[in-house]
Amino acid sequence: DSGVTQTPKHLITATGQRVTLRCSPRSGDLSVYWYQQSLDQGLQFLIHYYNGEERAKGNILERFSAQQFPDLHSELNLSSLELGDSALYFCASSVEGSVGNTIYFGEGSWLTVV
């Protein structure tokens, strides 16, 4: 158990809908990262938050957004869902946001868009 908690574990929704994925980082970790993992691609970095502020953006679509709250939990919002958004979404956390900090992954949220 990495200490990173993600909910829900599984989610099935229809195209065009909006969902919110939630992540609680490890106790004491200030950084939260979101990754997308689909069958034909590896782990794609989406976005990084540090202590409530956006630090870096990766291949995140405009239909997707995220935030980190004062209690350090984070939410990833996915809207206008398409079939291609079906994937495993991981949250990871680390103590800081600086170079070389080990990141710890949660168990992921399986999103299926039908």
Partner 1 sequence: GENVEQHPSTLSVQEGDSAVIKCTYSDSASNYFPWYKQELGKGPQLIIDIRSNVGEKKDQRIAVTLNKTAKHFSLHITETQPEDSAVYFCAASPQFGNQFYFGTGTSLTVIP
Size of the site for partner 1 (CB under 8 A): 27
CA distance 113 to 81: 7
When asked if residue 7 is in the footprint of partner 1 (CB under 8 A), the reply is no
Distances, alpha carbon 62 to alpha carbons 10, 52, 81, in Å: 23, 20, 12
Per-residue mark of binding to partner 1, 40-79 (x: CB under 8 A): -xxx-x--x------xx-x---------------------
CA distance 44 to 27: 25
Among positions 51, 77, 98, 112, the unique one binding partner 1 when judged by CB under 8 A: 98
- The amino acid occupying position 62 is E
CA distance 39 to 25: 25
Contact between residue 4 and residue 92 where contact means Cβ atoms under 8 Å apart: yes
Identity of the residue, 12 or 18, whose beta carbon is nearer to partner 1 in the bound complex: 12
When asked if residue 104 is in the footprint of partner 1 (CB under 8 A), the reply is yes
Residue 80 Cβ, how far from partner 1 at the closest point, in Å? 26
Residue 58 Cβ, how far from partner 1 at the closest point, in Å? 7
| Window 15-44: residues binding partner 1 (CB under 8 A) | 31, 33, 41-43
